[in-house]
Amino acid sequence: MLKNIPASTTIATLLLAHGAGAAMDSDFMRAMVERLVSRGIGVLRFEFPYMAARRDDGIRRPPNPQPVLLDCWREVYQQARKQHSGPLAIGGKSMGGRMASLLADELGADALICLGYPFHATGKADKPRVAHLAALQTPTLIVQGERDPMGNRHTVEQYALSPAIALHWLETANHDFKPLQRSGCSHAQHLDTAAEAVADFLRRIASP
């Protein structure tokens, strides 16, 4: 598990999982961690078994079956909970966030953070993965690009989501928060905005 802790006071700690295709030290993950830590959020990162195996032998593998991913989440959360007495949020990029969302209520996490939630597979908007999100009770923030192919703004706004879920939209951004040039925003600016939204959300959780 990788641990990044702010130099000064830690407002809250976020246990952050990677997406399906990129490891815990991908460019996206490193950029978000750097920004979150600078805003007082401690970040713990881990890898699912298939990604840890790739790191050992370099062989690309598909994600483990969902039960394996969920059991990994349970184990890592219990380890983190023993080490951190303050507010502990869980979440992740894409698939990592989706797996966290399936367990947030069960684990009793203080908050859930999803960065680019895969509301449906690319090109399969007719098969949404949102049933459990209607009853979610954990305070949740989803940061989503307006043109994310796994859930754009037009599509997502039609879903019946739990009132515990807050959505923060990034103008013209894709799944990795990269905007169109016409937006007038850079990728770095959108990453800054995403990190600030997460930090603000966790500040409110930590100081209700």
> What's the pLDDT tens digit per position in 103-134?
999 999 999 999 999 999 999 999 999 999 99
> What's the pLDDT tens digit per position in 36-65?
999 999 999 999 999 999 989 988 999 999
Residue 140 confidence (pLDDT): 98
Residue 188: what are its φ and ψ, rounded to 5°?
-60, -40
**Which helix or strand (DSSP H or E) is residue 89 part of?**
strand 88-93
Q: What pTM did the predictor assign?
A: 0.96
**74: CB partners within 8 A, 6+ apart:** 103, 107
The average pLDDT across 92-97 equals 97
Neighbours of 63 (CB within 10 A): 17
Domain boundaries, the chain: 2-206
What single DSSP character describes residue 181? G
CATH superfamily, region 2-206 = Alpha/Beta hydrolase fold, catalytic domain (3.40.50.1820)
